[in-house]
Structure formats: structure tokens, C-alpha cells
Structure 1
Amino acid sequence: MRWADQYNVMRSMLLSSPATHWWVRDLILRLDAKDPVDVLNGLEVVARLMRMRHEAVRAGEWDQLECQKPTGDDGISMKD
């Protein structure tokens, strides 16, 4: 199967699955119009940031950071 076909199958599966979080579906749709290299670079930065947050939680440090409420561009809390 070609890469493009695999992409389309996986994309359709993720968008139609009730197990996929709404924000993941929204992100997939938003990123479709972007350059794939830019997306991969941006996702790497976000992955590093989330790893740091995860380690802070594991180290018991997240309570100190709780006053920083992460929000999106629309000002809505991004916490689940």
C-alpha cells in the first residue's frame, strides 16, 4: 500500500473513531493544510514540552506550577 493510501486509511479511522479525543480530531483537521515538515518540527517541540511536564508531575513539582493555567489562543483552558 502506498504512503498516501496508508495516511488516508489511518486518518479516516482516527476521525471516525469514538475513542479519539475531540481535540485530536480537531488537530488532525487543522494540520491537514500545513506543511508536513513544519508539523513534524512543531510536534517535536510540543512532545518535549509535555515530557518536561510529565517529569515535573512525577517529581512532585507540578503543584508549584499549578498557578500557571495553560490556555489556548481562545483563552479557554486546555486542561482535560
Structure 2
Amino acid sequence: MIVELTHNLISADMTVSYREARCLVQCARKAILDLHPHFEERFERVIWPHFERVLAQRWPTEVPLSPDDCDVVN
């Protein structure tokens, strides 16, 4: 559910900026790993590349941010 909600926000909400989308993905990662710490490898192998594709399609000219550029609020 966290992945689906984040995906819908970053792919459909035209008011979300690239930086906000990156931060949403980082927050989703933190929330998922807080709930399921053993999912880290799966997240990195399956979910992260999916988000990377969505971000690259929506913002093809943006340079990826480092994780330190986002404030994790949850």
C-alpha cells in the first residue's frame, strides 16, 4: 500500500516537484523498512528501480539527488 500510494503521488500529481518526489520515495523506503526490516534487499532490488524509472520518465532532465538532500519526516 505504501508503494502504491507513493507511486500514484509521484506519477499523477502534477503539483509534486522532483525534489518532493525523491523525498516521498525516501520516506516510503523508511516506512517500509520500519515495518519490515528484512525487506531491505527486496526494496533495493525490486521497488527502488521501479521508482527510479517513474522518476526518470516524469523528470528526464533532472540530476538524481543524494538521500541526504531529503528530509525524512516519518
Q: TM-score over 0.5 for the alignment?
A: no
Question: Taking structure 2 as the reference length, what is the TM-score of the superposition?
Answer: 0.32
Flag the structure with more relative contact order, 1 or 2, with Cα contacts below 8 A and sequence separation at least 6: 2
Q: Which has the higher helix share?
A: 2
Please say which structure displays the higher CA radius of gyration: 1
- Using structure 1 for the length normalisation, give the TM-score: 0.30
